[in-house]
Structure 1
Amino acid sequence: MPRAHVLLSESIHESADDAFARADIDVHRTSAGLAGDELIAALRDIPGDEPVLLGVRSKTKVRAPVIDAVPRLVGVGAFCIGTDQIDLARARAAGVAVFNAPFSNTRSVAELIIAEIVMLSRQICMRSWAAHEGAWLKNAKGAHEVRGKKLGIIGYGHIGSQLSVLAEALGLRVSYYDIVNKLPLGNAGVVEDLDTLLAESDFVTLHVPDTEQTRLMIGPEQIAKLKPGAYLINASRGSVVDLDALAAAIDSGHVAGAAIDVFPKEPKAAGDRFESPLQGKRSVILTPHIGGSTQEAQANIGREVSEALAGYMTSGRTIGCITLPALDGAEIRGGCRLVNIHKNVPGVLSRVNNVVAEVGVNITGQHLVTDGGNGLLLMDIDVPRDDARASALREGIARLDQSLRTRLLG
């Protein structure tokens, strides 16, 4: 009998299999991006009664009905940076652990941005297009070195800060704007407001999440404030730039060009038609959401997220979890470990300890952390997992009104 099962969707990299194998977690795969009833059916079809994990990328939608319909679902891994496809509020309320990969494709995205900066500055796409059509644009008109130019980074997180370092190595002057105070790397400078960054930068690149504050944060007003002849790059979220306004600014000559990797509406399948108001503009680079699509990034993501999910299943470790309090579960040494996720209300631990006393087991280690609406308890006891007292303890604690999820490890 396996410890658990995991359903991996959307052709997640095979590197994920190693961590699951070591944790005795059976892997089930589907290449499709599922949602709604299809996803519920796929999860319910997994055999046995062991806990179930789910691994997704951007197309598999894990909404509240899915979480509510599959009680065996204890954890979700987003094998990407973003978690927009997962109902985090419902997962948190249900005690479902959600992990993502905030670091693994950082380098790949940063390298793409560097490549696009050079290609835009040298008009590579325009000249390549002309050559394919038989024209020979051998001249220096409109082509510039990037050395000495100013790069403005909106969002100085994992990607923005690494991009900052790479850009300085090419001789770019770097400034950034972020709503959170961040330590600048290298010689990067902080800009106090967005308008200043837009007005001063030769290249503007966005690295922000999808929130109410970032949606259409670059609209007609902000595009008008861009430095004349500047370039705009977006590889963050398709919701943050008004593409119609950008297209108009490119047509007018106010914006020299753009590189866009993410879009408000993206094809759901490879055969679906892609449409954008930026199509046909030779100073625009359009890429199909491939910022993190390198073999290295996908392998790193596969390892990072699978190890996080496996650690949660073997020791209760939640470091890096988005929906549960962070607790580093040490190796289980003798006996077994009870993992209890509960509502963060007063008196839970005393009720849990009353159950322990009634069952008659000895606690050898206990850790409790709370964050927001949830509490996470890891309790080591001196009897093995298959002991009747361990089962009685799990059942007794699971019956508490405050308990959301309770399981035994060992």
Structure 2
Amino acid sequence: MLRILATDGIDKSARDELESMGHEVTEQYFEPEELKKALADYDVVVVRSATKVKAPIIDAAADAGRLKMIIRAGVGVDNIDVDYAEAKGIKVRNTPNSSSASVAELALAHMFSLARFVGISNVTMREGKWNKKNYTGVELSGKTLGLVGFGRISIELAKKATALGMKVLYTNRRGPREDFPEYGYSTLEELLRLSDFVSIHTPSLEGGKALIGMNELKLMKNTAYIINCARGGIVDEEALLQALESGDLAGAGIDVFVEEPTKNLALINHPRVSSTPHIGGSTAEAQERIGGEIVEIIKTSF
């Protein structure tokens, strides 16, 4: 019997299955200092993006000697010091296959929201304004979508964008992919210059460095839009706000922020920003699939 702690919740069907296997599942969030103590009593901890498992927490868990595995209920593991945990004898796993479609759909939703003023018109109509003449948008069909990073989420988004009549370009640190000849490969600089919409799908850079800063934003068309449903800090928030204020960029869709909950009110309240509170994987279907992957990881690991 394993004691499993889910600090950011777990799908009910996964919890029921784990308990039917004889395991004990606790759903409770702990602040970092409390988490250090709590992990002494658990074999497995399941986290989402809200819980950070860094060196001090890993040290405490390793010293206690019980924790065997950290599972990230999602794709990215940059909220976990993976190498450090593995070096301490604590395995780290994630669920890379479960939320790709959900994140891709949210990126697409932000594209529609920006292109047709869905977000801001909803706000102004609630204020009693009828700004019809201000909201002449653009169609996605015929536009070029540039994908920065070309993993599972980007591939899902590319398929959906192609169905809408968009041309898809991508750049990828490993170079062009022979298994997707239907999409065009380019350098980051070329992609930024050519794309009408740019969607970011890469892990965080070392040290929290921005991949897209002022220099990169200046390469983009002033009619272009940028979407970040990847990680906070990949796009420099200050540079992005400046580009929006100066008119160098038409708009931005943002699901992830440097600090969460974000205090960057100037950015999220900008009329050309579509913002959501890190909900890329927050669909019932994705959470059920994630739960299934967690169960499978535990079944095959213990």
Same fold (TM over 0.5): yes
Could you tell me how far apart the structure 2 residues matched to 1:186 and 1:23 are?
45
Of 184, 188, 192, 2:183 maps to: 188
- Contact kept in structure 2, 1:165 and 1:186, CA below 8 Å: no
Question: What residue in structure 1 maps to residue 98 of structure 2?
Answer: 104
Which shifted more, 205-214 or 73-82? 205-214
Superposed counterparts of 1:141-160, under 5 Å: 142-160=136-154
Of 20, 33, 40, 2:36 maps to: 40
- Contact kept in structure 1, 2:150 and 2:201, CA below 8 Å: yes
- The secondary structure found in structure 1 opposite 2:19 is helix
State the Cα distance separating 1:184 from its structure 2 match: 5.4
Question: Match of 1:14, as an amino acid?
Answer: K
2:168 is the counterpart of 1:171: no
Question: What residue in structure 1 maps to residue 295 of structure 2?
Answer: 306
Question: What residue in structure 1 maps to residue 211 of structure 2?
Answer: 217
Question: What residue in structure 2 maps to residue 317 of structure 1?
Answer: none
- The secondary structure found in structure 1 opposite 2:293 is helix
Could you tell me how far apart the structure 2 residues matched to 1:310 and 1:259 are?
38
1:294-335 deviations in whole A, cap 9, x for unaligned? 11111111111222022101xxxxxxxxxxxxxxxxxxxxxx
- TM superposition score normalised by structure 1: 0.69
Q: How many residues align?
A: 298
Q: Which has the greater radius of gyration?
A: 1
- Contact kept in structure 2, 1:108 and 1:291, CA below 8 Å: yes
State the Cα distance separating 1:17 from its structure 2 match: 1.8
Could you tell me how far apart the structure 2 residues matched to 1:101 and 1:286 are?
25
Question: What residue in structure 1 maps to residue 15 of structure 2?
Answer: 17
Question: What residue in structure 2 maps to residue 85 of structure 1?
Answer: 79
1:344-379 deviations in whole A, cap 9, x for unaligned? xxxxxxxxxxxxxxxxxxxxxxxxxxxxxxxxxxxx
2:284 is the counterpart of 1:295: yes
Q: Which ranges of 4 or more aligned residues in structure 1 deviate by more than 3 Å?
A: 139-142, 183-186
Question: What residue in structure 2 maps to residue 245 of structure 1?
Answer: 239
- Contact kept in structure 1, 2:148 and 2:202, CA below 8 Å: yes
State the Cα distance separating 1:221 from its structure 2 match: 0.4
Distance 1:112 1:33, change over 3 A: farther
- The secondary structure found in structure 2 opposite 1:73 is coil
- Contact kept in structure 1, 2:102 and 2:282, CA below 8 Å: yes
Could you tell me how far apart the structure 2 residues matched to 1:216 and 1:23 are?
44
Of 246, 258, 264, 1:275 maps to: 264
- The secondary structure found in structure 1 opposite 2:274 is strand
- The secondary structure found in structure 1 opposite 2:103 is helix
State the Cα distance separating 1:95 from its structure 2 match: 2.2
State the Cα distance separating 1:33 from its structure 2 match: 4.2
State the Cα distance separating 1:66 from its structure 2 match: 3.0
Question: What residue in structure 2 maps to residue 286 of structure 1?
Answer: 275
- C-alpha RMSD of the superposition: 1.9
Structure with more of its chain in strand, by fraction: 1
Structure 2: segments with no counterpart, 5+ residues: none
1:69-110 deviations in whole A, cap 9, x for unaligned? 331111111111121222212221122211101110111111
Could you tell me how far apart the structure 2 residues matched to 1:103 and 1:310 are?
17
Structure with more of its chain in helix, by fraction: 2
Question: What residue in structure 2 maps to residue 134 of structure 1?
Answer: 128
Of 9, 26, 49, 1:58 maps to: 49
